[in-house]
Chains A and B, each alone.
Chain A
């Protein structure tokens, strides 16, 4: 059980909850925790905080069902049950020495934020770094202040787009996979990290492949019904893999055949 330090509304239905892990809690970018709202249930939630900031365990949660609604409603001083961290992380070390393209859709930016913060804190180890981020509308984009700060950096290319907007929106309107075509990176020396709705990830992986990035260098974070989180219950099985144990991050080359199977 961990006490809640702060909560912050990110958008209409999405909140960032910071927990006090007490002792230092080490995690790798892309890993997830099982969060338990007492009397309601447990849900797998990606860690969205800075890996270097071990005094805070940060999660960005979208209130979609009873459990996530209960987690989003917690207040400072209350406690949340936690297990973890679990799962295979983003290949941030493997990406060193080359270009990195991070593509996020909607709340998919939350599990990618630790990877981006990790890379930015070791910026000299990477070549060109690009963030492509898409959301449904300007109001639903996450981390507004931080996004603005990232856009100011001269060592990070940032492109943000939304599906639809009113005429007073000054940014891009269009789908995030379309940003891949004009992003600047060297396909042969690029590692791509992609997270968002599965259809958006498929379209993005296809766009990256069209640019010449090999499927082994495209990594996706998948989501299924994770319950035990250590590969025992089988609820998150996708083909021969258990997402909680073998993922949630997979090379596209490994997972693509199973993503094409209907109703799997």
Chain B
């Protein structure tokens, strides 16, 4: 059975970190499993834990009045679920639900923030890596905002 730090080393957001740093991060983590349809968290709740998907699919959803929930993104093996743990006010901005049985590593955001405060180099390293995730998702969101498959006459 793989250790948590070994599991984390396979996730793109943590790839290339040295063993000591991975152990430090893994110290805030635990293995979790979600049955299909179980929510990891809901919009407005405290963002005190985030996840890295090992196997499975997580949907990020937004609830819209008088409509069924809209899936805004699906996350797959190796993806990070959530960055609201990193920036105040540490609250989730959407729902996250397991679309199928999913294994993940849950990481305690408060624990990791504390370690970052104690070790600014670790904080900078993690911030850089999570910024990359944020940039990729921001660019994807902008692309969708353009509605490139929509009717060009409506542009």
Contacts and interface: CB of A to CB of B under 8 A. Distances in A.
A124 B136 CA distance: 36
Interface stretch (B25-33, B65-73, B109-117, B123-131): B65-73
A249 to B, nearest CB: 20
A161 B147 CA distance: 14
B150 interface: yes
A177 interface: yes
Interface string A55-89: 00000000011000000000000000000000000
A144 to B, nearest CB: 16
Contact of A173 (B71, B143, B152): B71
A161 B143 CA distance: 14
Contacts of B72: 164, 173
Nearest to B146: A199
B148 interface: yes
B108 interface: no
Contact of A64 (B97, B99, B146, B152): B152
B148 A106 contact: yes
Q: For chain A, which range describes its interface: under 10, 10 to 19, 20 to 34, or 35 or more residues? A: 20 to 34
Q: For chain B, which range describes its interface: under 10, 10 to 19, 20 to 34, or 35 or more residues? A: 20 to 34
A174 B151 contact: no
Interface string A179-211: 000100000000000001101100100000000
Contacts of B143: 175, 177, 199-200, 203
Contacts of B61: 167
B144 A172 contact: no
A162 to B, nearest CB: 9
A172 B72 CA distance: 10
A81 B137 CA distance: 46
A227 interface: no
Given A173-B59, A200-B143, A136 B149 contact: yes
Contacts of A153: none
| Interface hub of B71, B72, B148, B153 (most chain A Cβ within 10 A) | B148
Interface string B41-85: 000000000000000000101000000111111101010000000
B30 to A, nearest CB: 25
The 8 closest A-B pairs by CB, nearest first: A136-B149, A197-B148, A106-B149, A167-B69, A173-B74, A173-B71, A175-B140, A163-B144
